[in-house]
Amino acid sequence: MSTSAVVTSGPLEAALDDYLAHLRVERGLSANTTAAYRRDLARYVRHLESLGRTSVGAVSEADVVAYVTVVREGTDGGARLSPASTARALAAVRGWHRFAHAEGLATHDPSAEVRAPTQLRRLPHALSVDAVTRLLDAAGQGDGPLPLRDRALLELLYSTGGRISEVVGLDVDAVGWLDGALPGSGTGADAVVRLHGKGDKQRVVPVGSYAREALDAYLVRSRPGLAASGTGTPALFLNTRGRRLSRQSAWAVLQAASEKAGLQNVSPHTLRHSFATHLLQGGADVRVVQELLGHASVTTTQIYTMVTPDTLREVYAAAHPRAL
């Protein structure tokens, strides 16, 4: 049976539907995020049903532990999950059981003490400042409206640390030039952008001068021509048909610029990692970076504070009185 099958009936499924409605309505999670929870928890429901459980209140800690083993080994016929994916699946299970306990559907939370498999904590891949410069320069090479758009797109990704879905989802009015300046005015005014993150949470992020100038050039010299082929969409970044640029097309823009710059393994998240790493290396407070990235917890942001052995040696050599 496919692990993405839709849950349709039964007491466990009804309890699951209540939880998904809670996530969607009360917590404001997006349709994509709610669908991911449904896929994970549909597999969990089938596991519980195979054990003869008929209600969420009848689940034991042993049932949850067994589920962790099942998804790691794929013994239910589904995919074998990596430690990271298993942790995500267990997080979904924990959320459901916490909800069931809080709503009085269960007398206890059987998942509270269950731990996910240990996973290696890897440093995010970040480009050097020089590599980012080469990438952005490569995006702007060529004539016509597309190089101006591509440069503005990548400049904005790096300048704001935004997710690719957040940046391609922007409308023109989400970019604000301060002090009443307009695109093309040449005033050098600062700019901010309003990003919509996970759970439809909004945050306002400053836009650096390089990204502002690239946006200015795109909005004045490129977007009007692209928009003429469409039907008046408010989207900030447009394709050649005058419609909103898709995530896939934005990815292709990044890949093309990476090849021109001689870089490998560059993804939109690489620019997000580079944004955070470069800010922290420049002395930014981790909580400020947390706000800029839109992380719900500072723990997620703290991975960027992990340092390499080379950095440790450099700091030790510069700071310890008897290092040299």
Cα–Cα nearest to 223, from 253, 252, 243:
243
> In the structure, what pLDDT confidence band is assigned to residue 310 with cuts at 50, 70 and 90?
low
Task: In whole angstroms, give the CA distance from residue 262 to residue 243.
Answer: 30
Q: What is the mean pLDDT of residues 245-250?
A: 94
User: Does a structural domain hold residue 119?
Assistant: no
Pair 200, 294 in one domain: yes
Indicate if the pLDDT at residue 215 is higher than 90.
Answer: yes
Pair 16, 162 in one domain: no
Pair 158, 260 in one domain: yes
The predicted structure's pLDDT at residue 8 = 42
Identify the residue whose tokens are 């939109």: 268
Pair 96, 138 in one domain: no
Pair 31, 153 in one domain: no
For residue 151, what are the domain limits? 129-305
Pair 149, 72 in one domain: no
Indicate if the pLDDT at residue 188 is higher than 60.
Answer: no
Indicate if the pLDDT at residue 145 is higher than 60.
Answer: yes
Indicate if the pLDDT at residue 218 is higher than 60.
Answer: yes
Q: Answer with the residue of higher pLDDT: 268 or 133.
A: 133
Q: What is the pTM of this model?
A: 0.60
The one catalytic residue in 269, 287, 313, 316 is 269
Whether residue 320 lies in the annotated active site = no
The contacts of residue 46 (CB under 8 Å, 6+ apart) are 1, 5, 76
Pair 35, 159 in one domain: no
User: Does a structural domain hold residue 254?
Assistant: yes
- 6-17 confidence digits (pLDDT tens): 444 578 888 899
Whether residue 260 lies in the annotated active site = no
> In the structure, what pLDDT confidence band is assigned to residue 309 with cuts at 50, 70 and 90?
low
Q: Residue 151: which CATH number?
A: 1.10.443.10
Contact (Cβ atoms closer than 8 angstroms) between residue 263 and residue 187: no
User: Considering the chain, what percentage of its residues have pLDDT values greater than 70?
Assistant: 85
The one catalytic residue in 39, 198, 203, 247 is 198
Tell me the longest C-alpha to C-alpha distance in the chain: 71
> In the structure, what pLDDT confidence band is assigned to residue 306 with cuts at 50, 70 and 90?
low
The one catalytic residue in 37, 67, 218, 304 is 304
Task: In whole angstroms, give the CA distance from residue 192 to residue 202.
Answer: 13
CA atoms within 13 A on the CB side of 310: 0
The one catalytic residue in 46, 149, 163, 244 is 163
Indicate if the pLDDT at residue 208 is higher than 70.
Answer: yes
Domain count within the chain: 2
Whether residue 269 lies in the annotated active site = yes
User: Does a structural domain hold residue 140?
Assistant: yes
Whether residue 295 lies in the annotated active site = yes
Whether residue 19 lies in the annotated active site = no
The one catalytic residue in 101, 212, 272, 278 is 272
Whether residue 46 lies in the annotated active site = no
Flag the least confident range among 32-41, 156-165, 194-203.
194-203
The predicted structure's pLDDT at residue 85 = 87
